[in-house]
Chain A
Amino acid sequence: MAQKLLMAGNEAAGEGAICAGCDAYFGYPITPQNEFPAYMARRMPELGRVFIQAESELAAISMVYGASAAGKRAMTSSSSPGISLKQEGISYLAASQLPAVIANVQRGGPGLGNIGPSQGDYWQATRGGGHGDYRSIVLAPASVQEMFDLTARAFDLADRYRMCVIILADAYLGQMMEPMVIPDDPFPPPPPKPWALTGCEGRLPNTVKSLFLGDGELERHNYQLFETYRRVEREETRWASVAVEDADVVFVAYGFCARICREVVVLGRSRGQRLGLIRPITVWPFPKRPILEAASHAIGFLVVEMSMGQMVEDVRLALEGRSQVALLGRPAFVPEAGEVYDCAMALLEKNGSGCRVPGAGPQGRHRTRNPQPGTRNPEPGTR
C-alpha cells in the first residue's frame, strides 16, 4: 500500500531521488537546503549508494559529471549562491549530453541576499545559466508532494533526453512539512547507456567530452543539442490549470506563488469573480499554448512571482501583445493573498493597467495586508 508520510520538502525531494534510483548524491552545505544533504547522508549509505559532502559546489557538480559519465544516476542540490557556482558544471554537463538532476532551493539574492524564499533564479534556470548555447529542463514543484514527484520524474527526463533537469524550488517548499504519498508503482528503470564510461572491455573506447575543434564540428553539435530541445518543447511541456476556461483574469504563477493564486481564485470565484490560474510545472519548456489560448477570453493576465519580474517576460513572449500582462512581483517575500486579490481587482477595474508592483514598499504591504474584498466591485469588468 502507498505510504503516507509527513515530510519536509527538502527530504521529500531526497526521497523522490532515492525512489527513482539515484545512485549518487553530491552536496555542499547552504541554507535553506541543508536538510537535503543531511537526509541523503543518512539514506544513501543505508542503501549502499554514494554520498559525498564535496569541498565546494564546483566539486559537487563535477562529481555529478563524473558519476553521470560513468552511466549512473546522479544529483546535487543547493541554493541560489551555490547554484551560481554550479553553472560551470551545468554547462559542461549540457555540452557533454550527460543526464543530471540539480535541485535549487532558491533564496533571496543577488549576492548573499537572505535565506528566505525567492524566485530570483528563474532567468538563470530557464536561460541556461552557464556559458554557451544550451537549455536545461526546469521543473517547478508547488508542494511537498511535488518535491517528491518531480524530483523522481527528473531522473527519467534527464536520462531520456540526456539533459540536466533543474528542480526550481524555494526556501518555503524546501522547509515546510506536508503530508505526502510515496506511490507503490515502480519507477521506470534507467535506459541502457552505451555511451557511458565503464571500461572498454569488448568494445571501442568511449569518450565523454565537450571540446569540438574540428571544422564545423561544434556547430553540428549545437544543432544536435537544439534538435533535442525542440523535442522536449513538443513532448514535455507541463502545466496545471484552475478555472481558466471562462476566466477574465488569469494568474500565471509557479511554485509557492501558485498556491496563493489558487487560494485567490477560489476566493474570487466564491464572490462571482471569474479568476483562473495557469501554473507552469515546466518553466522550461514554458507552457506558451495554454496562455495564448486563454487570451481568447481573458481581459488580462496577472503574473505573480517572487522576483521583480522574470517569468513575466515569458508570459509576454507567449502572448505576443495579444493581452494585458500585469505583474505582482515581490523580490524577497511571498506575496499575500490580499495583495494578489487587490491586484487582480485593479486589473479588472482598469481593464488592464499594465505593470505595477504594489508590494514593493512597506506602505503597500501594510495597505494590502487585510483586504476588504467585499467593498470592491463584485462584478468583474466587462469585455
Chain B
Amino acid sequence: MKILYERPEALQPCLTHYCAGCGHGIVHRLIAEAIDELGIQGRAVGAAPVGCAVLAHQYLKVDMCEPAHGRTAAVVAAIKRVRPECVVFSYQGDGDLAAIGMAETVHAANRAEPITVFFVNNAVYGMTGGQMAPTTLLGQHTTTTPLGREAGYHGHPIRVCELLATLDGPAYLERVALSSPARIRQAQRAVRKAFITQIEHNGYSLVEFLSPCPTYWHMAPTEAIRFVEEQMTRVFPLGVFRDWEGPRPEPQT
C-alpha cells in the first residue's frame, strides 16, 4: 500500500479558526511537512505573535511562544542565541513584521541572526477586522482606507524582501505565492530551504508568502486566489532576493 497523502506529524489533528479560503492553513501545512521531512520536530521552537496566526501554537506540534505584537524577531533571535541547538522560526503577518515590528525585523536580519522567518503577506490586518497593512495595495479598500489606499495620503506598499536584500545580513530571501498548485510547490521548496539555511549554514532566512484573505478582501476564495496571482504579484514580484548558494537571480513575475 502506498500512502499518497496524510497529515504531517508536526500538525495537530484539529480544526483551525481560519476563514474559508485563507492561506494560513496552507502555510501551516508546508511548515509542518518541512519539519517532518527534516526530522526537527523535537528541536524546533516557534513564535507566532498577535495576528490571525496567534493560535498557531494550537496547530503546530512543536514548542511555541506568543510574542508581543511586533517583537517577534527580537524574541526568536534571543531564543536562538541561548539555544543554538534548536531550530527557531517565527510566523508573522504583515502588520507584525512590517509595521509595528519593522525595527525588530530589520535589525534581526542585519545581525544575521540564524533564524527562519515565515512572513504571511495578505495585504490586510485580518484579526482586527480588515484595516490597512503596510503591504496593502494602492487602491485597495480596507476599513481605514475606505476610499482605497492612496499613495500620497497613506504611503506605498512596502516590499519587505527587496528592503531586506539591501542588507548584508540575510542569507536567504524568497517571495512565493499561494495562488496555484505549482506556486505552492515552489513555496514548499522555499520553506525547506529556509530551514536548511538555518540548520546547515547558520544564516538568516525569510520566506514571504503572498496569501489570500477572502474575508477582508470581500471576495470569494477563488476570486481572492486570482487577486494574489494577478494583482499582488505585480506589486510584489516573486523570486529569490538573496541566496547563499549563488548570485542573486533576477526576480520573476
| A residues with CB within 8 A of B | 23-24, 26, 50, 52, 54-56, 58-60, 62-67, 69-70, 72, 74, 88-89, 92, 96, 197-202, 205-211
B45 adjacent to chain A (CB < 8 Å): yes
Residues of A within 8 A of B83 (CB): 70, 72, 197-199
CA distance A55 to B102 in the complex (A): 11
Interface size class of B (residues with CB under 8 A): 35 or more
Which of A23, A55, A67, A208 is close to B104, meaning CB atoms less than 8 Å apart?
A: A55
Contact call A197/B79, Cβ cutoff below 8 A: yes
Residues of B within 8 A of A207 (CB): 57, 63-66
Q: A197-B79, A211-B54 are in contact. Are A62 and B62 (CB under 8 A)?
A: no
Contact call A52/B77, Cβ cutoff below 8 A: yes
| B residues with CB within 8 A of A | 41-45, 47, 54-55, 57, 61-68, 70-71, 74-79, 81-83, 85-87, 103-104, 106-107, 111
- Nearest residue (CB) in A for B66 is A209
Contact call B63/A206, Cβ cutoff below 8 A: yes
CA distance A58 to B104 in the complex (A): 9
Contact call A50/B43, Cβ cutoff below 8 A: no
Q: A89-B68, A198-B63, A209-B65 are in contact. Are A70 and B107 (CB under 8 A)?
A: no
CA distance A69 to B71 in the complex (A): 14
Contact call B61/A205, Cβ cutoff below 8 A: yes
Contact call A69/B75, Cβ cutoff below 8 A: yes
Further 6 A-B residue pairs, CB within 8 A, beyond A198-B63, A206-B64, A208-B66: A24-B81, A55-B104, A65-B71, A70-B86, A199-B86, A211-B66
Contact call B63/A65, Cβ cutoff below 8 A: no
Chain B's nearest CB lies how many Å from the CB of A242? 42
Residues of A within 8 A of B82 (CB): 23-24, 50, 66-67, 70, 72, 74
Chain B's nearest CB lies how many Å from the CB of A249? 46
Contact call A65/B75, Cβ cutoff below 8 A: yes
Q: A62-B78, A199-B86 are in contact. Are A69 and B107 (CB under 8 A)?
A: no
Contact call B43/A199, Cβ cutoff below 8 A: yes
The 10 listed contacts between A and B (C-beta, < 8 Å) are: A52-B77, A65-B68, A66-B82, A67-B81, A70-B78, A197-B64, A198-B45, A200-B41, A207-B65, A209-B57
Contact call A92/B103, Cβ cutoff below 8 A: no
Which of B42, B57, B67, B85 is close to A65, meaning CB atoms less than 8 Å apart?
A: B67
- Nearest residue (CB) in A for B41 is A200
Contact call B42/A200, Cβ cutoff below 8 A: yes
Contact call B44/A199, Cβ cutoff below 8 A: yes
- Nearest residue (CB) in B for A55 is B107
Q: A69-B65, A197-B65, A207-B63 are in contact. Are A58 and B71 (CB under 8 A)?
A: yes
Which of A55, A66, A199, A200 is close to B75, meaning CB atoms less than 8 Å apart?
A: A66
Chain A's nearest CB lies how many Å from the CB of B204? 14
- A62, A66, A206, A209, most chain B CB atoms within 10 A: A66
Contact call A69/B79, Cβ cutoff below 8 A: yes
Residues of B within 8 A of A59 (CB): 71, 74, 103-104, 107
Chain A's nearest CB lies how many Å from the CB of B104? 5
Contact call B74/A66, Cβ cutoff below 8 A: yes
Residues of A within 8 A of B41 (CB): 200-201
Contact call A205/B71, Cβ cutoff below 8 A: no
CA distance A72 to B57 in the complex (A): 21
Contact call A62/B68, Cβ cutoff below 8 A: yes
Contact call B107/A66, Cβ cutoff below 8 A: no
Contact call B81/A50, Cβ cutoff below 8 A: yes
Contact call A205/B63, Cβ cutoff below 8 A: yes
- B66, B75, B83, B85, most chain A CB atoms within 10 A: B75
- Nearest residue (CB) in A for B100 is A58
Residues of B within 8 A of A206 (CB): 63-64
- Nearest residue (CB) in B for A200 is B63
CA distance A101 to B104 in the complex (A): 21
- Nearest residue (CB) in A for B86 is A199
Contact call B74/A70, Cβ cutoff below 8 A: no
- Nearest residue (CB) in A for B50 is A211
CA distance A274 to B57 in the complex (A): 62
CA distance A67 to B45 in the complex (A): 12
CA distance A205 to B83 in the complex (A): 16
- Nearest residue (CB) in B for A204 is B61
Contact call A199/B104, Cβ cutoff below 8 A: no
